[in-house]
Amino acid sequence: MERPMGMDHLNNSKILVSGGAGFIGSNLCEELLQHNNEVICLDNFSTGKSENIIPFLGNKNFRLIVGDIRDLDTCKKAVEDVDYVLHEAALGSVPRSIKDPISVNDVNVSGFLNMLVASKEAGVKRFIYAASSSAYGDSASLPKVEDVIGKPLSPYAITKYVNELYADVFSRIYGIDCIGLRYFNVFGRRQDPNGAYAAVIPLFVKKLINHESPVINGDGENSRDFTYIKNVVQMNLLALVTTNKAALNTVYNTAFGERTTLNQLVKYLKEYLSEYDPGIANIEVVYGPDRPGDIPHSLASMEKAESLLDYSPRYAMREGLKEAVNWYWNNLK
C-alpha cells in the first residue's frame, strides 16, 4: 500500500478512533495499524458494523471498547493515556436529523462535548474531529471557502457547526489543540449501502447491481464534491502530524475540489459497473422530488488545506469511484 504523506512522523502512538467501526473510522483504524500505532476503537455499533473491524481483532495493537459517547465515564476510559483522538462518532444524514433531531443532537453535540471534556482532562495532544460541509448551509458562493458560511439548513448541519464552536472555545480556554475536517460527500469501501439513510453512491451501486432504477431527487443537475475515502484518510493523517502552529485550531475543507452532478455520477457508475455486467448500461434512472434540507451545489476550495497542511489529494473522483465500484462488486454479490 502506498504510504500516505505524513506517516513517517506518526509511529508508535496511541490513538483513539471514536466511531472506529464505521465507514470512515474503520478505514482510519486500518491505516494507523499498518504503521505500528496502538489503536483504540470506541463504538456502540448503532451505525458501525462489526464486520468492518473483524480483520483487526487479532492485531495486538488494536483494542475495542464497546460504548457510547453519550456516557462521559466511557469517554474518560477510552482516552486514558491516549496521544491523539480522531473523533468520527456521530449520527449522520440530513433526513435522519429531520426525522429525529433529539437523538442526533444528543450524539453529535452532547457526545462531542463529552469527548472534548474527556480529552482535555486526559491531556490529549491533539483532537481531530469530523466536521461537515453542511456547515455552509444556504451560502450560495462557490467554491466553498472555510470562512464564508450561511445559515444551517437541517438539524444535522446545526450539530456539526456547534462542534466547530465548541472546539474553538476549548482550544482558546483550555489550550487543547483541535482541528476540524469538513467532509464533502465521502465515499468508498465499507460505506453501507443498506438502511433508510444510505449515502447516494453505495445506494445507487446496490440498485444498479440488482438491476433496479436509482432514484435521483430533483432533476439530477445538483452537484457535489464527491471525495474518495483515501483522500479523507490522508487529510486526517496530515492534521495529526502537522508541526505548523498556524495550522492548528481551525477547520479545513476535506474534499477533492471538483464538482460532479448526480446525472454524471450515475453515468460513471453505469459505465464502471457494466464492465462486470453489461446489462447495467441500459438501466433507466427515476427522478423524484427535491429532498428537504439539500443544497443545490457543493464545491470545496482546497487552498487553505494546501497552504497550511500541504494537502494534495491523491485520488481524483473518477479514479476513486472505479476502485469503490470494484470493492462493491466483490462484496455485494
Class of domain 11-188+226-257+294-315: alpha beta
**Can you read off the three cell numbers belonging to residue 82?**
491516549
**pLDDT tens digits for the chain (333 residues)?**
344 444 556 778 999 999 999 999 999 999 999 999 999 999 999 999 999 999 999 999 999 999 999 999 999 999 999 999 999 999 988 889 999 999 999 999 999 999 999 999 999 999 999 999 999 999 989 999 999 999 999 999 999 999 999 999 999 999 999 999 999 999 999 999 987 777 899 999 999 999 999 999 899 999 999 999 999 999 999 999 999 999 999 999 999 999 999 999 999 999 999 999 999 999 999 999 887 767 788 999 999 999 999 999 999 999 999 999 999 999 886
CA atoms of 192 and 12, how far apart (whole Å):
31
Beta bridge partners of 62: 39
Displacement of CA 38 from its chain's centroid (Å): 21
CA atoms of 224 and 241, how far apart (whole Å):
29
**Can you read off the three cell numbers belonging to residue 144?**
466553498
First to last CA, the chain: 25
What are the residue ranges spanned by the domains of the chain? 11-188+226-257+294-315
CA atoms of 70 and 77, how far apart (whole Å):
13
* Cis amide leading into 55 (omega within 30): no
Q: Which helix (H) or strand (E) holds 53?
A: helix 50-53
Among candidate residues 129, 136, 156, 252, the one labeled active-site is 156
- Annotation says 156 is catalytic: yes
